[in-house]
A and B are shown apart, each in its own frame.
Chain A
């Protein structure tokens, strides 16, 4: 297990040495979401209704923005060979890298989103639901994005291809994440949506590390 922990901590330390990379992602999230109230105008009801969808879409784009480097950096500097040659399963390495990605993007996005929700006139309960859905849903985004990043290793225009691959796969997470807030607002209760989000994250957790590891082995050949 110590190798997996070391990889997770290494990736966190690399982010810590270059805080700008994460700052750009979070700044993109803030700027992209704040543009909507400015563009649409002060229609509080309309804004509150579309807030969940906008915040979730922006979180999805922001999370994709930082995925370019997830495996590409290791691929380019030869560290990927060391991961392929580590005496423990590559699936765990894939998981450790996605977990580190989530810790520096998904987690801060979930914390930041309720603050931005205020600008859309969301009530307190909706803000809480928004943070919860992002907390439960973003791990799936990191894993799906990780798969796309691993599949596009070495490809030209990998970034655009990555988004094309990952976005359709993120649709279920997006739908249930955004609709949970609406369900909560109409008094339907959001637990079902949250449970489905959790299930999507768990299914990703149980399957995608294997797919990512297979893609990485292919890239290493």
Chain B
């Protein structure tokens, strides 16, 4: 087994006085896809947000290459690509503009070739100059996934990535995931539907 890049140990979260999960420990190695499964309200989203430091954990640690990620939040943010319930796209900007702005917000200068490749991966090249508000839910989801691909971050955190995707888009996501994993990347996805090649972690 390869050495784990991401180590979660004894992570506990409480929201509004209610225990969401307690002393959760797992690790993810380079090239591995972890699928978080579990019923609605089992804490999949909270776990993803806790890993991204969007939600404070009451106990436990998230370590990247052995170092607590809280020690350098900005370096940690640079390693993350995030897809939440909401896509994080601006309706009045076009698909291409949205991805370029997201890249700039991450402190990157967008490379046209990389953006184009990300758009092509999700069959968005013909929609690239359409304002996002004119797109369907599935098309918006694809645009957000293209944003994740364009970020080239080593760790993808995806909350229900398959939502609203049709069969073709699903295949595109699985292809993008396998390219990402083959390059040594990691991904954690909260999902109800099975994802090809994923190791499952069931949250009680």
| A positions within 8 Å CB-CB of B | 2-3, 5-7, 10, 13-14, 17-18, 76-79, 81-88, 220-221
Q: Which of B49, B52, B88, B89 has the most CB of A within 10 A?
A: B88
Chain B, residue nearest A75 (CB): B86
Interface pair A6/B104, CB less than 8 Å apart: yes
- A5 to chain B: which residues have CB within 8 Å? 104
Contact B77 A81 (CB under 8 A): no
Which residues of B61-101 have CB atoms within 8 Å of chain A's CB atoms?
74-75, 77-78, 80, 82, 84-93, 97, 101
Given A14-B92, A86-B105, decide whether A78 and B77 contact each other with a Cβ distance below 8 A. Answer: no
Question: B109 to chain A: which residues have CB within 8 Å?
Answer: 2
Residue of A2, A79, A88 ringed by the most chain B CB atoms within 10 A: A79
Chain B residues with CB under 8 Å of A82's CB are: 82, 88, 102, 105
Partner pick for B88 among A3, A6, A18, A77, CB 8 A cutoff: A77
Q: Which B residues are within 8 Å of any A CB, using their own CB?
A: 49, 52, 54-56, 74-75, 77-78, 80, 82, 84-93, 97, 101-102, 104-107, 109, 131
Q: Which of A85, A88, A221 has its CB near the most chain B CB atoms (within 10 A)?
A: A85
Contacts of B89 in A (CB 8 A): 77-79
User: What are 27 contact pairs spanning A and B, CB under 8 A?
Assistant: A2-B107, A5-B104, A6-B104, A6-B105, A7-B105, A14-B90, A14-B92, A17-B92, A77-B87, A77-B88, A77-B89, A77-B91, A78-B84, A78-B86, A78-B89, A79-B88, A79-B89, A79-B90, A82-B102, A82-B105, A85-B54, A85-B80, A85-B82, A86-B105, A87-B74, A87-B77, A221-B55
| Chain A residues positioned under 8 Å from B92 (CB to CB) | 14, 17-18
Q: Which A residues lie within 8 Å of B54 (CB)?
A: 81, 84-85, 220-221
- With a 10 A CB-CB cut-off, give which of B49, B90, B91 has the most chain A CB atoms: B90
How far is A94 from B109 in the complex, measured between Cα atoms in Å?
A: 21
> For B102, what are the chain A residues with a Cβ–Cβ distance below 8 Å?
82
* A14 proximity list for chain B (CB < 8 A): 90, 92-93
* Assembled-state Cα–Cα distance A127/B191 (Å): 62
> Which B residues lie within 8 Å of A3 (CB)?
104-107
Contact, CB under 8 Å: A88 / B74:
yes
Q: Is the CB of A81 within 8 A of B84?
A: yes
Residues of B within 8 A of A221 (CB): 49, 54-56
Contact A78 B85 (CB under 8 A): yes
B76 to chain A, nearest CB (A): 8
* Contact A87 B75, beta carbon cutoff 8 Å: yes
Chain B: CB-nearest residue to A73: B90
A6 and B55 form a contact (CB under 8 A): no
Q: Is the CB of A81 within 8 A of B105?
A: no
Known: A78-B86, A81-B88. A10 touches B52 (CB 8 A): no
- The answer to whether B107 and A86 have CB atoms under 8 Å apart is yes
- Chain A residue at smallest Cβ distance from B86: A78
Which A residues touch B107, using CB under 8 A?
2-3, 86-88
A139 to B111, CA, bound (A): 35
Chain B residue contacts of A7, Cβ below 8 A: 105
Q: A87–B81 Cα gap in the complex (Å)?
A: 11
- Expressed in whole angstroms, the minimum distance between the Cβ of A103 and any Cβ of chain B is 17
Bound together, the chains give a CA A164 to CA B97 distance in angstroms of 36
Contacts of A85 in B (CB 8 A): 52, 54, 77, 80, 82
Complex: how many Å from CA A86 to CA B153?
12
The answer for the CA separation of A126 and B29 in the assembled complex, in Å, is 69
A2-B104 in contact given A10-B90, A87-B74 (Cβ < 8 Å): yes
Nearest B residue to A5, CB-CB: B104
Residues of B within 8 A of A13 (CB): 93, 97
A83 and B52 alpha carbons, distance in the complex (Å): 12
Q: In the docked arrangement, what's the CA distance between A5 and B109, Å?
A: 12
Q: What distance in Å separates the Cβ of B185 from its nearest Cβ neighbour in chain A?
A: 17
**What CA separation (Å) do A88 and B101 show in the bound complex?**
15
From B84, B91, B101, B102, name the one whose CB has the most chain A CB atoms within 10 angstroms: B101
